[in-house]
């Protein structure tokens, strides 16, 4: 199992368009790619909007604002393609406890976008994708990895749409024994389907470890979440299942609640996530001058044949894009 970097670089010049950026998402459009993220003065500031850029013929377009939330901060964009339509889900609100999920749609490859609308009317706390991409199940339904954050605890669930995003039905919460936890819990799942009807998730946690849960009924119900042997720093992760069934996970291999966000690495599994290969380092700063200088975080990953495409936060100053070949 080998990774090889085919392309790697910034999506835009660091610090040119805003003071900070974070939480990217990436979508392949034939030979092109579309990337989105939130950017502004700093995370949680009212001027934070959703920005995007398109990679065509090897070069990125200048970033532009594609969505905002009427004077409240935007968070965690997630791209999804469906034929000629591109969906962009994002959160809008002062904080994760009170944010709502909004959606815009493009029918021209991400060049123009519809006005934002609520994904689920009256939603408070977030429906649809929390951070990571939705997947299309073997029965054609969309399954979005979701979570909810309250002052007391964090929990995960999935949202299912059988009509290409028009309506959503929410599963129950993924079972977890909160009484046994040191921290708040689990959020921001990443999903894959290993066989028709059999769906799995890995989750960010407050417990120093990535957690896992499994479903045998297309995500309707889930087994109790349990810790894996993979470390987690209470920061975002993402995973993709390749066409040959191998899994590629991107994360910070650091244990501890709110641990360091460096290095950022890939690992591969050939046995549906039971075991993982050694780290392949994408970025690392051994002696950062401050927290931001050592941040490589919140990855997004998609795959095409023997290649994976990854974006992640680079020091909160730009988004990094990597294309890897996998052998």
What would the pLDDT profile of 43-74 be if each residue is shown by its tens digit?
A: 999 999 999 999 999 999 999 999 999 999 99
Structure tokens at 40: 């502004």
- Level-2 CATH architecture, domain 3-168+235-326: 6 Propeller (2.120)
- Give me the pLDDT at residue 36, please: 98
Percent of the chain exceeding pLDDT 90 equals 98
For 293, phi then psi, to 5°, come to -65, -20
Tokens representing 216 are: 């045998």
Q: Are 173 and 158 in contact (CB under 8 A)?
A: no
Enumerate residues 6+ apart whose C-beta is below 8 A from 143: 134, 135, 136, 137, 158, 159, 160, 191, 199, 218, 219
Mean pLDDT of the chain: 97
Provide the pLDDT for residue 319.
98
Give me the residue spans of the domains in the chain: 3-168+235-326
The pLDDT score that the predictor gives to residue 324 is: 98
Q: How many H helices and E strands in the chain?
A: 0, 25
CB 282 within 8 A of CB 298: no
Q: What is the DSSP letter of 109?
A: T
* Distance between CA atoms of residues 312 and 314, nearest Å: 6
Amino acid 145: pLDDT: 98
What tens digit of pLDDT does each residue of 217-227 get? Answer: 999 999 999 99
User: Would you state the pLDDT for residue 166?
Assistant: 96
Instruction: State the pLDDT at residue 93.
Output: 98
Distances (CA, A) of 136 to 81, 133, 196, 197: 10, 10, 11, 11
Give the chain's residues under pLDDT 70.
Answer: 1
The CA distance from 116 to 93, in Å, is: 13
- Return d(Cα 205, Cα 208) in angstroms, integer: 7
299: enclosing H helix or E strand:
strand 296-304
Report which of 141, 72, 64 is spatially closest to residue 106, judged by C-alpha positions.
Answer: 64
The SS3 assignment for 25 reads: strand
What residues pair up with 169 in beta bridges, in sequence order? Answer: 160
Rounded CA separation 233/236 (Å):
9
- Confirm if 214 and 226 have CB atoms less than 8 A apart: no
């Amino acid at each position: 199992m080998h990774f090889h970097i085919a392309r790697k670089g910034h999506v835009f010049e660091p610090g040119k368009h805003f003071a900070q950026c974070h939480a990217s998402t990436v979508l392949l459009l034939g030979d092109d790619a579309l990337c989105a993220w939130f950017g502004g003065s700093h995370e949680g500031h009212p001027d934070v909007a959703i920005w995007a850029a398109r990679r065509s013929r090897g070069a990125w377009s200048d970033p532009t604002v594609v969505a905002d939330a009427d004077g409240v901060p935007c968070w965690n964009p997630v791209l999804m393609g469906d034929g000629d339509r591109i969906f962009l889900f994002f959160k809008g609100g002062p904080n994760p406890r009170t944010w709502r999920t909004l959606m815009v749609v493009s029918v021209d490859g991400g060049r123009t976008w519809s006005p934002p609308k609520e994904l689920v009317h009256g939603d408070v706390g977030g429906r649809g994708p929390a951070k990571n991409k939705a997947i299309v199940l073997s029965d054609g339904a969309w399954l979005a990895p979701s979570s909810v954050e309250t002052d007391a605890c964090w929990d995960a669930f999935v949202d299912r749409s059988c009509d290409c995003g028009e309506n959503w039905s929410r599963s129950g919460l993924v079972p977890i024994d909160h009484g046994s936890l040191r921290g708040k819990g689990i959020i921001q799942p990443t999903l894959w389907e290993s066989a028709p009807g059999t769906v799995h998730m890995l989750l960010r946690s407050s417990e120093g470890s990535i957690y896992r849960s499994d479903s045998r009924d297309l995500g309707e119900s889930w087994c109790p979440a349990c810790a894996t042997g993979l470390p987690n720093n209470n920061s975002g992760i993402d995973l993709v299942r390749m066409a040959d069934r191998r899994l590629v996970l991107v994360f910070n291999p650091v244990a501890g609640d709110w641990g360091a966000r460096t290095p950022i690495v890939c690992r591969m599994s050939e046995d549906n996530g039971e075991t993982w290969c050694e780290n392949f380092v994408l970025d690392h700063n051994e002696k950062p001058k401050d927290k931001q200088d050592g941040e490589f975080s919140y990855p997004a990953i998609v795959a095409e044949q023997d290649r994976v495409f990854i974006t992640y936060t680079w020091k909160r100053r730009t988004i990094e894009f990597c294309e890897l070949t996998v052998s």
